[in-house]
Amino acid sequence: MGKNEREENDFDPENHNQEEEEKKKHLKEEELSVERIFENQEVLSWRKQLTVRAFVVSFVLSILFSFIVMKLNLTTGIIPSLNVSAGLLGFFFVKTWTKLLHKSGLLRQPFTRQENTVIQTCVVASSGIAYSGMLSFVLPFTTTLLSCFDIISEIS
């Protein structure tokens, strides 16, 4: 391809390289833009991150996930990691709750990323307790196991 052909097609390799560099720079800036959205927002103190709505949603989801964990543990013996589902369901419930409160004019504090982290942590911790608690407290105290050690006959 000769110089005249490049000029006819409006293709300049030097300009093309500059355009590619600008595109890469722009993409890099877009990657950082998610954090730039939150850089001007002040992170609330830990006391303000622990909200009543976070604990209500955590409690409801903890009950749901505890039943799921116990059912899976008794049927298959294993449980999947529930971090992602806890985070997504917590986000969905609180976001819906805050939208309803916002429409009614009763919203005092917006939903934050930290609040979603609190919900996820509480739900995963309680489902872990349900898993380990069931194995260490419920199963050993069945009458079958107690009768093996003649504890029932000694008590009666």
Distance (Å, whole) CA 77 – CA 131: 10
Give alpha helix (H) positions in 40-141: 46-49, 52-75, 83-104, 113-133
Predicted local confidence at residue 59, as pLDDT = 93
Residue 136 is classified by DSSP as I
Predicted local confidence at residue 61, as pLDDT = 92
Q: Copy the structure tokens of residue 22.
A: 């600008």
Share of the chain above pLDDT 90, in %: 5
Predicted local confidence at residue 147, as pLDDT = 64
Rounded to two decimals, the pTM is 0.60
pLDDT, tens digit (0-9, with 9 covering 90-100), for 122-133: 999 988 887 776
Rg of the chain in Å (alpha carbons): 28
Angle (nearest 5°) at CA 19 between 13 and 23: 145
Predicted local confidence at residue 135, as pLDDT = 55
